[in-house]
Chains A and B, each alone.
Chain A
Amino acid sequence: MEKGVLIPNLFKTEYRKIISVLCNLFGLAHIEIAEDITNDTFLLASETWGQKGVPENPKAWLYTVAKNKTKDYLKRHQNFTKKITPEIKATQSNFEELNVDLSEENITDSQLQMMFTICNDVIPSDAQIGLALRILCGFGIEEIAEAFFTNKQTINKRLFRAKEKLRSANIKIEFPNKKEIESRLNNVLTTIYLLFNEGYYSSSKNHTLKKELCIEAMRLIYLLIQNKTSNLPACNALLSLMCFQSSRFDSRMDENGKYLLYFNQNKQNWNKDLIVKGEYYLNKSAIGNEITKYHLEARIAFWHSRESDTIEKWENVLQLYNQLLQIQYSPIIALNRTYALSKANGKEIAIQEALKIDLKHNHFYHSLIAELYNGIDKDRHIEHLKKAIHLTQNKTSKEILTNKLKKSADSNGNRCIST
């Protein structure tokens, strides 16, 4: 059943190419028209191909239809045509022979330009991710809704508002100049980073969809790296981080689809190719003086891609977390740092430091303290495990913690469990 796989994949990759070229051609003000023409093209494809079979060169078929539909649209909507003619004329010498340029080069340029357009702080980050998935990755509304754990209506509204906002803020579709690139790139990297995390950490059960989100994030970063101007150390650091993380993507689950913690994973299943790629991009990121959070996170991920559990590893990880916290605080970084501290400097020191952290309502906080007290103070170990179980909403975490609690209680015959 080759067709069953071929068409969704082809649709996805070609959809994003055609839509970004058309968005680029029409300008952000007419993004819906670009969407309509692209949607019509693919609708016709699925109808025609369903009846007559897939043409010999489906890509060329799609491009021809998209070009013709664009010309038809412009002929039929003279008013619109007049309005956008000046915009198009600026780039096209002969409007009568309007050229919808679907060359590889223009597709890449259009995608890069759209990337900088969409990843703009005037719209909220979830809308940036949504638009990126729609326009840069060719995801359907339904898939985006599933990725965000919500319904189609919400996503439609979110994307609609975001497009309005980009329009009213007069954001231009263009590749930033050399001076601006670093500050603008920051935003793009944040969005791609969040897109990756959405795939990597989402609680969605759809394993394939989650993996696709990660792959898309990596593809977008790769586009930036392929371009001379945007091939900056931070991009290489982020791609390196993603390579290391995704090397464990498949080994995070056991044969029953249950999540495995890092320590319980079969290290033989880690993807070695991705680890090698991670190291390659980590080296590429090590030029210049700037150390971004992606550099630090990539180096931490590098140490976690080693199998050994040495003091050297944990000392390095601790120092990287120390630096990372000085660039950006987050509760999870603070807790991970405290865990690394326990491995490098000992549990007693880590307990003192952990008790200074004010995250009493965070179940990870109590899981960590329980872990630190394990083997040192049994009552406190159990007390914090119970707190963590009480606070977590996540079913898998609850299960793991409850099992730990049972084990601890079993090793002390007369303790009973109240949870």
Chain B
Amino acid sequence: MKEFMMIFRSEPKAWENLSPEQMQNSTKKWQDWIGGIAAQEKFVSTNRLGFSGKTMKPNNVIIDGPYTELKEIVGGYMIVKAKNLDDAILMAKGCPTIDIGGHVEVRDVMEINL
């Protein structure tokens, strides 16, 4: 088994208009989806990202927010175990970010032996 990182991207606007019930429903969808992966013993770790952020550019230029130039932002990530990339991308099926027009990028995690 190798490790892969799923990166969740979506438009921040998709989140802004959610009612509390929709928020709660969204949490359930995420937890059910992650729980399903964990039940296969393929879950490693995950984190949700908040909406505040700053970006450092060359020459020590600091700008507010990660999304001045991007329409979509990274909303979170999850590291999973899979045999290969083909299996890993199939695990992205059912990810709630896709329901709100976002997408999941799956990348292999490089093993570095120092």
Contacts and interface: CB of A to CB of B under 8 A. Distances in A.
B22 interface: no
Interface string A310-342: 000001001101110110010000100110010
A338 B28 contact: no
B55 interface: no
Interface stretch (B5-13, B29-37, B59-67, B103-111): B29-37
Nearest to B43: A326
A255 interface: no
Contact of B28 (A319, A325, A334, A353): A319
Interface in B15-48: 28, 31-32, 34-36, 38-41, 43, 46
B32 A326 contact: no
Contacts, number: 45
B39 A323 contact: no
Main secondary structure of the interface of B (DSSP, over half): helix
Contacts of B36: 341, 353, 356
Contact of B39 (A315, A319, A337, A345): A337
B39 A353 contact: yes
Contacts of A356: 36, 39-40
Tier of interface size on chain A? 10 to 19
A323 B31 contact: yes
Contact of B43 (A329, A341, A353): A329
A358 interface: yes
A357 interface: yes
B32 A334 contact: no
Contacts of B46: 326
Contacts of A326: 34-35, 38, 43, 46
Contacts of B32: 318, 322, 341, 345
B35 A337 contact: yes
Nearest to B31: A322
B39 A357 contact: yes
Main secondary structure of the interface of A (DSSP, over half): helix
B40 A321 contact: no
B34 A329 contact: no
A357 B36 CA distance: 9
Contacts of A357: 39-40
A338 B31 contact: no
Contacts of A322: 31-32, 34-35, 38
B35 A318 contact: yes
Contacts of B43: 325-326, 329
B41 A321 contact: no
Contacts of A358: 40-41
B98 to A, nearest CB: 17
A341 B33 CA distance: 11
A326 B37 CA distance: 9
A341 B38 CA distance: 13
A398 B34 CA distance: 33
A334 B39 contact: yes
A325 B39 contact: yes
A319 B27 CA distance: 10
A403 B32 CA distance: 33
Nearest to A326: B38
A336 to B, nearest CB: 10
Nearest to A323: B31
A79 to B, nearest CB: 52
A319 B39 CA distance: 13
A323 to B, nearest CB: 7
Contacts of A334: 38-41
Contacts of B31: 319, 322-323
A361 to B, nearest CB: 14
A81 to B, nearest CB: 54
A321 B32 CA distance: 10
A345 B32 CA distance: 10
A315 B32 CA distance: 10
Contacts of B41: 329, 334, 358
Contacts of A345: 32
A321 B39 CA distance: 9
Top 9 A-B residue pairs of the complex, sorted by shortest distance between their CB atoms: A322-B35, A325-B38, A334-B39, A322-B31, A329-B41, A353-B36, A326-B38, A337-B39, A356-B40
Given A334-B38, A334-B39, A337-B39, 14 more contacts: A318-B32, A318-B35, A319-B31, A321-B35, A322-B34, A323-B31, A325-B38, A325-B43, A326-B46, A329-B41, A353-B36, A353-B39, A357-B40, A358-B41
15 contacts: A315-B28, A321-B35, A322-B34, A322-B35, A323-B31, A325-B38, A326-B35, A326-B38, A326-B43, A329-B43, A341-B32, A353-B39, A356-B36, A356-B39, A358-B40
Interface of A: 315, 318-319, 321-323, 325-326, 329, 334, 337-338, 341, 345, 353, 356-358
Interface of B: 28, 31-32, 34-36, 38-41, 43, 46
